[in-house]
Structure 1
Amino acid sequence: MLIVFEGIDGSGKTTLSNRVARELRRAGLSVRHVREDGKLASPVSEGLRLFTKNPRNLALTPMAELLLYAARETQLLEEVTRPALAEYEIVIADRFLYTAEVLARWGRGLPEHEVRPILEACARGLQPDRVFLIDVDPAIARARRRITKLLAPPQGTSSRKGLAGVGMQARLRAGYRALAAEEPERWSLVENADVPLDTMVGLLVQEVLRLVKGDVPSSNPVRARPAPPLRSLAEVRGRFLARLDGWMQEEPQLAAWFLAGLEGPDIDERRSQLAGKHPEVIAYGLSGLTDANAWELRRQLEEAAPVHVLGSLKELAADVPEAWALRERWETRKQEAVAESLGGLDSERAWVLRERIYFSAAEHVVGSLAGLGGERAWRERSRWLSDMGGEAALGLERVARIACRSIRGVDDERAWEWRERAFEVAPDAVLRTLDGLDSERAWEMRERHVARAPRAVLGTLEGLDVPRAWALRESFGVQCEEALDSFVGMEGATAWKLRTALADTWPAATVKNLGPLAFTSRGRTLIERLLESHPHDFALLRQAVRATRDTTTQEIRDASA
């Protein structure tokens, strides 16, 4: 019997499939998991997975990508899955050929009549006995992935698929749900939201045991409760905190993550409760905060999570006395993190500190020069590149990526020479260096590569209020949330037209996009409408808490009077 777990990255399918496999073994069944602990049992398939993931292969076309995904799954089927089906009672797979279909059709836009025949030929008649679609809000899935990376930073580069942006995850989720609707007799929709992990594992194990006995399994074994409507903005904070409090018991790291950037006594209380068990996540969430409670919490957490505390010294928190005192305390123990905390600072104090720690953290010192032109910055970059072996070293991926961090937002001739040398080995990193640039060369590079890496390209438009920037934002229609992130707080007819057009597809990002406009009557009206239309959207709820924390104060007081 073949049982498949499908779902978007971060849905929880790997955790659930492994837990279910272990519980079935305890129940006395012989079970083979072909992706135990997240690694494919076939070395060939694992190699293909790493190839398709590598952003160096930015030029990979949608059809070539489909064939590689199909090859990965076919190799696993032939080498591991089919032999296992002859030997074990139950074979569990974390992903199947459905992954390739959903990515090709909904992710990349290939037509069904081109995709289906390829995958049917690969399957050679093999179909799962049951597919559990682990369904989750993409915002929650994204948070889980980011927490994993925060606690155990990956050794390699970011995923090539991630260059398509948040919209990719939403489209993939829709694709999976469409496949499930086509074959309800084969698929079970499992809503992984606000249900304790142990409870969910138990329900899924029971579903498999029913299959083993020949009973008909449920099409929706785990269903989330619908969210009631919001009657006023005064309810937003209470609804958000109630959801958060549930996670504090069942998934505290997720609760800690969603506290990031928020302020208020009720938020501080929950941070304090979680700080002891999850110091890294709490410290990370202090990024840019400058209130007294944030600095006190940094002092409490710096011994347990010094790297993440130093990493929170951004924006308004980067160049204040408390930040410099923190750097001084850690200068001899965490030079790399101290260097990274200097990102973009051009004061004499920052330059003196860079010089003191250069030989202990050279690449991090160089990375902190993002946005800095001028001879002083270029002397530092040239010294580092000479230490690496000269300009030829820009052809090495690791060196190229460090160099790209350093020249982000720099538009002089030397920066363009570095971009040209680095592009072959780190194209995604080169695209990110265009941050805020309005030169013809920058626009030509954006327009040439935006179709393959919209997230990376749109992320460089932040603050650009020129016709080419608006044309690029509008060219993606509703597909890319990142378009909203690039014009936060901007007024004008074009900004409001695009904001309104994207609002119901990306409600949370739209509220974040308002920035200070959230305090205007037009912004408040938009927030209220979105909350009424999307009461189930947790990311929207969180952004509404951030956006309306001042405008709803009197309303909250009136409600409690």
Structure 2
Amino acid sequence: MFIDFEGIDGSGKTTLSNLLAAKLKRLGYRVAHAREGGELQAPAARRIRELTRDSRLLEMSPRTEFFLNLARDAQQLDEVVAPALSRGEVCITDRYLYSHLALSGGGRGLPMDELRPACELASQGLWPDLVILVDVDPDLARLRKRLGKLQSKRASDGDSRKGLVGAGLAVRVRESFLEMARKDPQRWLILENNDVPLRVLEQRLVDAVVARLEGREQQVQRIVPAPARPRHASPTTLQNLEERFFQTLDTVEQREPALAVWMLSGIPGLAAHQQRLAFAERFPGLTARGMVGLDDVPAMDLRELLSDLAPAEVAFSLTGRTDSRAAMLRQRLYARAPTEVLASLKQDGSAPAWALRERAMRDGRLADVLAGLAGQDCEESWVVREAGMQRKLFAEVARSLTCVPGARADALREVLLPHDRLAVLRSTQGLDTPVARGLRESLAGKALKLVLRSLTGLDTEEAWALRERGAPQTKEALDSVDGMAASRAWKLRVDHLGRWPTTALSSLKGLPMGPHAQALVERVLAEHPDRLPVLRNAYAVAATARTLSQQPARTPRVDTSSRVEA
């Protein structure tokens, strides 16, 4: 039998396909997994995958990508799948040609009727007997994917080519998968992976597959395990939001404890702090990293408590803090986590910050100093950038220009463009300069996510035109209005609330809970009562607004570094 697993990134298909392979082997079946442990078994296929993921290849067209992906699977078919089936083994794949139909057709917009004949040629008539679609809320998938990167120390991984398009791609790909499943119900089995323990999913999956292997008829196409958290009889409102959030967090902790920790990221207030304390011993690194943007005394106390257990994560969590207590903690942490300490100095032009940078320069840490130089336009910063150019640290120099305006910065961006366009684009965040405008226009069709995120805080006609163009395609258009109270920001949120509800919520962070915000939060909670990312973002916004209302008036600063991808 040929079994294929499909699903968007972060759906859990790789984990579940490997669990199924292991279980079937224990039951006595001979099994071959074409992507065992998450790695394609054919070396040539691995090389092709690297090519299609390379974000430097911005000019690669959707058609080229499609044919390369077909070549990858054709090689897997010839080298792994067909031989295994000829030996009478159960062969499991983690993605097959359906993925390319969903990506190129549903995601990129190429005509499906032109793609299918090419897939038939690549398949040589060999299609799976069973396709298992692991279906998940795309917002939850992003949370899990981000968490997985953090846990595997890949948090600084750059975007793949797919990632540059924006989060909307996963939504369109998921819709395409569901449409394929609807049209071929005998072949497709949908397994929901939203809010149930992994062991329950695994058992339901194994039962369904063994039934197929034994020739027993299956009456259902969609497996929906009973949810781990009970559905509430009454609606969730702003009045009971905190209670509901922490009830749900308790349930999430039982099945995915690390996810529960990550859901607290950036949320202020006593209740969230007490919960972080409960997690700190088991998950010191995640707990510390989740405190980026928190500047209250309890958060600082917890950082100091965790500094020996998770020095790198504590250092990272100091990003944006310029007070004396943060400066003292950085001094202590520098010997153990110099890279993270220096990166946390973004936007910090204080004397202690420059003392640390000078120390790092003496230690030969030029690249790390550049990583924390964002927002600095003093003469000392330009000396460091010149040293970086001499060492050909082009990407690092480009990133050091983030949020730095002016002709001098734009002139250097022009020099850096041939070396790393994406790093230069990232450096234009919040800037309205000729270079920034030209770069956004030229890359909007190739790196829409980064273009939209570079608009954060911008209130110009060009920025609004790009947002309005991009909002139907991807959520990052709403990310770019984080903390903005302009009438056009409210209109953008309301117009695209149905498509991007969790992002519409997160974009309110830093705003007071006035009538517009209250109405929007209540509406999203009413329309999506059981979506975990919605509940999380609604509570984060409400808790932040409450905390800000209790502080002396000040200019709000929206810290996008503490954003949880949902």
Q: Does TM, scored on the shorter chain, surpass 0.5? A: yes
State the 1:184 CA deviation.
Answer: 1.2
Which of 348, 356, 359 is matched with 2:351 structurally? 348
Q: 1:425 to 1:14 in 2, by over 3 A?
A: farther
Which range is displaced more, 532-541 or 303-312?
Answer: 532-541
Aligned residues: 541
Q: SS state of the match for residue 519, structure 1? A: coil
Counterpart secondary structure, 2:189 = strand
Deviates more, 1:289-298 or 1:41-50: 289-298
Question: Which 4+ residue blocks in structure 1 deviate beyond 6 angstroms?
Answer: 550-553
In 1, Cα distance between equivalents of 2:157 and 2:540: 34
State the alpha-carbon separation in 1 of the partners of residues 387 and 470 from structure 2. Answer: 41
1:32·1:90 contact (CA, 8 Å) conserved in 2? yes
Shift of the alpha carbon at 1:86?
A: 0.9
After superposition, give the CA deviation of every residue in 1:485-522 in whole Å (9 maximum; x if it has no partner): 11223334322221211111111111222235451112
| Contact 2:4 2:92 survives alignment (8 Å) | yes
- Which residue pairs with 1:334 in the alignment? 337
Aligned twin of 2:435: 441
* Inter-partner Cα distance in structure 2 for 1:491 and 1:343: 25
The percent identity for this pair of structures is 39
Q: How far apart are 1:474 and its partner, in Å?
A: 0.5
Aligned to 1:282: 287
Indicate the residue corresponding to 1:59 in structure 2.
Answer: 59
- Which residue number corresponds to residue 246 of structure 2? 241
Deviations 1:184-227 (A, max 9, x none): 11111111122111121121111111111111233122345495
Of residues 318-327 and 251-260 in structure 1, the stretch that sits farther from structure 2 once superposed is: 318-327
Letter matched to residue 521 of structure 2: I
Q: Distance in 2 between matches of 1:136 and 1:425?
A: 38
CA contact under 8 A between 1:344 and 1:370: conserved in structure 2?
Answer: yes
Say if 1:435 and 1:459, in contact at 8 Å, map to a contact too. Answer: yes
Pair 1:538 & 2:532 matched: yes
Task: Decide which of 239, 252, 276 is 1:271's aligned counterpart.
Answer: 276
Kindly state the Cα deviation for residue 428 of structure 1 after the two structures are TM-superposed.
Answer: 2.1
Q: Secondary structure at the match of 1:122?
A: helix
Equivalent residues in 2 for 1:349-428 (5 A)? 349-360=352-363, 361-386=365-390, 388=391, 393=392, 399-413=393-407, 415-428=409-422
Q: Which residue of 2 aligns with 1:219?
A: 221
CA change 1:459–1:477 in 2 (3 A) is closer
Asked if 2 retains the 8 angstrom alpha-carbon contact of 1:194 and 1:246, the reply is no
Conserved 8 A contact 1:5-1:131: yes
Name the aligned partner's letter for residue 456 of structure 2: E
CA distance in 2, matches of 1:294, 1:371: 25
Partner in structure 1 of residue 99 of structure 2: 99
Q: Work out whether 1:140 is the aligned partner of 2:140.
A: yes
Deviates more, 1:429-438 or 1:228-237: 228-237
Distance in 2 between residues matched to 1:47 and 1:156, nearest whole Å: 19
For the Cα contact (< 8 Å) 2:201–2:225, is it kept in 1?
Answer: no
Give the Cα–Cα distance (whole angstroms) in 2 for the partners of residues 231 and 477 of structure 1. 27
Deviates more, 1:74-83 or 1:142-151: 142-151
Match for 1:456 among 450, 453, 459?
450
The separation in 1 between residues aligned to 2:545 and 2:452, in whole angstroms, is 31
Shift of 1:179: 1.2
- Select 1:262's aligned residue among 255, 264, 267: 267
Task: Write the deviation string for residues 10-35 of structure 1: whole angstroms up to 9, x where unpaired.
Answer: 11111111111111100011000000
Letter in 1 for 2:188: W
CA contact (8 A) 1:56 1:425 kept: no
Which residue of the partner structure matches residue 205 of structure 1?
Answer: 206
Shift, 1:551, TM fit: 7.5
Report the Cα offset of residue 156 of structure 1: 6.0
Unaligned runs of 5+ in 1: 394-398, 554-561
1:547 to 528, 532, 541: 541
- Summarize deviations over 1:365-422 as a string: whole Å, max 9, x none: 1121112223221111112333x2xxxx3xxxxx332122112223445544543454
Q: Distance in 1 between matches of 2:129 and 2:384?
A: 61
On the 8 A contact 2:133/2:177 being kept in 1, the answer is yes
**1:78-227 map, 5 Å:** 78-154=78-154, 157-217=158-218, 218-223=220-225, 225=227, 227=231
In structure 2, what is the Cα distance between the partners aligned to 1:152 and 1:327?
24
Give the 3 Å change call, closer, same or farther, for CA 25–68 of structure 1 in structure 2. same
Give the distance between the partners of 2:540 and 2:152, measured in 1 at CA: 28
**Could you tell me how far apart the structure 2 residues matched to 1:131 and 1:227 are?**
30
Cα RMSD of the aligned pairs, angstroms, is 2.0
Cα distance in structure 2, aligned partners of 1:495 and 1:260: 25
Higher helix content, 1 or 2: 1
Which residue in the other structure is 1:469 paired with?
463
**Mapped contact 1:230–1:236 kept (Cα < 8 A):** no
In 1, Cα distance between equivalents of 2:374 and 2:8: 33
Q: Distance in 1 between matches of 2:522 and 2:312?
A: 39
The structural deviation recorded for 1:5 is 0.9
